[in-house]
Amino acid sequence: MTVYASKHANRTISAVQPDGSGATTVRFEFDLSAVLLTGDVVKMGYLPANCKVVDWTLDCDDIDTGSTGVFDFGILTTAPVPAMDTIASGGAAWVAASTLGQAGGLVRALTKTHTRMVVSRTADQLIGLVVMGNFTATATGKIGATLTYIAA
pTM tops 0.85, yes or no? yes
Contact predicate 34/117, CB 8 Å: no
pLDDT at 138: 65
Tell me the CATH number at 134. Answer: 2.60.120
Domain that holds residue 51: 3-151
Contact predicate 69/110, CB 8 Å: no
pLDDT at 66: 85
pLDDT at 112: 86
pLDDT at 131: 96
Question: Domain count of the chain?
Answer: 1
Q: How far apart are CA 96 and CA 19, in angstroms?
A: 32
Q: How far apart are CA 144 and CA 128, in angstroms?
A: 10
Mean pLDDT over each residue of the chain, to the nearest integer? 93
Name every residue whose Cβ is closer than 8 Å to that of residue 79 and which is 6 or more positions away in sequence: none
Statement: residue 139 has pLDDT above 80: no
Query: What would the DSSP string read from start to end of 26-65?
Result: EEEEEEE-S---TT-EEEEEEEPTTEEEEEEEEEE----S
Rounded average pLDDT over 81-100: 92
Coil, helix or strand for 106? Answer: strand
pLDDT band (50, 70, 90) for residue 150: very high
For residue 52, the cross-strand partners are 150
